[in-house]
Amino acid sequence: MTKILGVLGGMGPLASAHFMLRLTLLTPAERDQEHIPAVLWSDPRVPDRTAARLGGGEDPLPALLRGIHGLEAAGCGAVAIPCNTAHGWYEGMQAATRLPILHIVEATGDELARLGVAERPVGVMGTAATLAMRLYQQGLERRGWDCLVPEPGEMEALVTPAIALVKANRVAEAYAPLAEAARRLVARGARAVVLGCTEIPLGVAAGPALPFPVADSIDALARAAIRWARS
């Protein structure tokens, strides 16, 4: 294995650490030398992406580019970013580097296809900014899926607080509100639910498995990274 994967993380730190775990567990390897060389740049100082997009907060792009350039200097051949909302700056990041940046929304579409989810409505859970930027709605609709998203009240009462709980290392407490938000999407007709914020899979994994298909954006990005490394 000669390709080195760069991981632009810290958004949040637990999500990027979990990505590294899933990258390792999903790689078909029997010894150390068969795993993917990777460099994790975990910088939690990147300004809040949701605040930047919705509340006039500090632009995160300079900090994102600092990390990408660090990964370039480390000899990486591609970049994975285990933060969905950061992909709102994807074009600016890709324009500033020669390295391919694996797109988490495209990877999650591949995961839906791998799970055999037909081209019917799917639910999408994510940060308010990810949904407002329509990252998943546009990306998945191009591939034939219609998207359902939580109602504003559900975002305020369930999804946004649960994401904050994971970021505060109160992962177990995030399960109940996330499971309820996912169940409501399925009740509205979603055939599967996309976990489109990298904190959400950690909260969902803290309780009983949900009784319907879920497309985990962390696993999806890890699988895309494995495909890149072995191509």
CA dist 231 and 229 (Å) reads 6
Q: Which two tokens stand for residue 110?
A: 């591949």
pLDDT given for residue 118 in this prediction: 87
SS3 state at 139: helix
User: Which among 84, 94, 198 has a CA at the least distance from the CA of 131?
Assistant: 84
User: Which among 131, 126, 139 has a CA at the least distance from the CA of 203?
Assistant: 126
Sequence-distant (6+) residues with CB within 8 A of 145 are: 109, 112, 117, 119, 120, 121, 122
pLDDT given for residue 1 in this prediction: 61
Q: Please tell me whether the overall predicted TM-score, pTM, comes out greater than 0.95 for this model.
A: yes
Q: What is the mean pLDDT of each run of 10 residues along the chain (231 residues)?
A: 93 98 98 97 98 96 98 98 98 98 98 92 98 98 96 98 98 98 98 98 98 98 98 91
Dihedral class, residue 144 (left if φ above 0, else alpha if ψ from -120 to 50, else beta): left
pLDDT given for residue 120 in this prediction: 84
**In sequence order, what are the beta bridge partners of 8?**
41
φ, ψ of residue 31 to 5 degrees: the values are: -155, 165
CA dist 122 and 111 (Å) reads 13
Question: In the chain, what are the domains?
Answer: 5-103+219-230 (3.40.50.1860), 105-217 (3.40.50.1860)
For residue 185, how many C-alpha atoms fall within 13 Å in the half-sphere facing its CB?
34
**Sheet containing strand 78-80, strands side by side:** 38-42, 5-9, 78-80, 101-102
Asked if residues 93 and 48 have their Cβ atoms less than 8 Å apart, the reply is: no
